Amino acid sequence: MKALLLDGKEVSARLKEKVTVQVTRLKSSGITPRLVVILVGDDPASAVYVRNKARTSEKLGIQSETITLKATISEKELLACISKLNRDDTVHGILVQLPLPQHINSEKIIEAILPDKDVDCFHPRNVGLLMLGKPYLLPCTPAGIVEILKYYKIETSGKHVVILGRSNIVGKPMANMLVQKSAHANATVTVVHSRTKNIKALCLQADILIAAIGKAAFVTADMVREDAVVIDVGINRVEAPDTPRGYKIVGDVDFIPVSGKAAAITPVPGGVGPMTIAMLMQNTVTAAKHLTNFIEHG
């Protein structure tokens, strides 16, 4: 392997230490940050993500509650649940795990969350603030990626970043952050999607290639330059009959050949995934401070 391994576990451990310090300060002022996660239905992958979020919260001293609702719940009932959490002063962060069942309008649900408690940074108000370069909370996965780049001192200013995927969760907010005129940004950004022509040629122009399309091993070695930094956001389940579970988790990058060519790469698991959760913890603390008018001293 030629590429430097960008260790998301290590970077997230540092970030979680910083969050823990802030939690301790809040608690000594009588404030316990509290995150409520809503899980609708029984998608096994979503259940794993939600469990990880709860476990990390507890480790950092953040109070966490998971509300599990049946897949058949009506949109109205879900909205009522959110409305109650919006009004509850002990709740600082609300996260509705996506995807939601077909009969529920996700946009309507996201817009119902009080923007001050929107720790996913999905609400139009928070997305707008981010776009204007005045963010309140940060989108967890893109912000986690910026933290990895910062930690390894990977320059973004003046670099060409090619993002594969235009989702509201990763691609669009990632482009939005990196294009800002601010520290750890100032990049030239290309967003590649299903209608893009000459995907390979564009990828070969990337100083930093961020893959977030949800297709196992989509990025092959012939699409990556030798001096490129590759960030793999994918979490894909692929069949693996010789493993105890019968499946394994792989990214959007064909890891072995690409890691033999690129300059640096994030592994899956252990790359971007742990960063997303750490950023969620930071957002919960930021929201708790904001909602309680907590003022930092010293």
Q: Which of 16, 22, 117, 120 is catalytic?
A: 120
**Residue 295 annotated as binding?**
no
Q: Is 167 flagged in the annotation as binding?
A: yes
The catalytic residue among 16, 97, 254, 289 is: 97
166 in a known ligand binding site = yes
Query: Would you tell me which residues interact with ligand GUN (CB under 6 A)?
Result: 95-98, 120, 140-141, 169
Strands 236-239, 247-250: pairing is antiparallel
Among residues 53, 117, 172, 289, which one is catalytic? 53
In the bound state with ligand GUN, the residue whose beta carbon lies nearer, of 141 and 259, is 141
In the bound state with ligand GUN, the residue whose beta carbon lies nearer, of 156 and 283, is 283
Q: Within a 13 Å sphere around the CA of 71, how many CA atoms are in the beta-carbon half?
A: 9
Nearest CB to ligand GUN, comparing residues 36 and 60? 36
Our CB check for ligand GUN shows the closer of 176 and 259 to be 176
What string of DSSP letters covers the chain? Answer: --SEE--HHHHHHHHHHHHHHHHHHHHHTT---EEEEEEES--HHHHHHHHHHHHHHHHHT-EEEEEEE-TT--HHHHHHHHHHHHH-TT--EEEE-SPPPTTS-HHHHHHHS-GGGBTT--SHHHHHHHHTT--SS--HHHHHHHHHHHHTT---TT-EEEEE---TTTHHHHHHHHTSSSTT---EEEEE-TT-S-HHHHHTT-SEEEE-S--TT-B-GGGS-TT-EEEE---EEEE-TTSSSSEEEE-SB-HHHHHTTSSEE--SSSSHHHHHHHHHHHHHHHHHHHHTT-----
Shortest distance, position 253 Cβ to ligand GUN, whole Å: 18
Cβ closest to ligand GUN, residue 3 vs residue 15: 15
Task: Please work out, in degrees rounded to the nearest 5, the angle formed at the alpha carbon of residue 236 by the alpha carbons of 233 and 239.
Answer: 155
Q: How far is the CB of 140 from ligand GUN (least distance, A)?
A: 5
Query: At closest approach, how far in Å is the CB of 260 from ligand GUN?
Result: 29
Active site residue 97: yes
As measured in angstroms, the least distance from the Cβ of 17 to ligand GUN is 22
Contact (CB, 8 A) for 262 and 77: no
Question: Taking the complex as a whole, how short is the minimal distance between the CB of residue 53 and ligand GUN, in angstroms?
Answer: 9
Based on the residue annotation, tell me whether 232 is a catalytic residue of this protein.
Answer: no
| 28 is known to lie in a ligand binding site | no
Nearest residue relative to ligand GUN (C-beta): 98
The binding site for NADP(+) consists of 165-167, 235
Catalytic amino acids?
53, 97, 120
The binding site consists of 165-167, 235
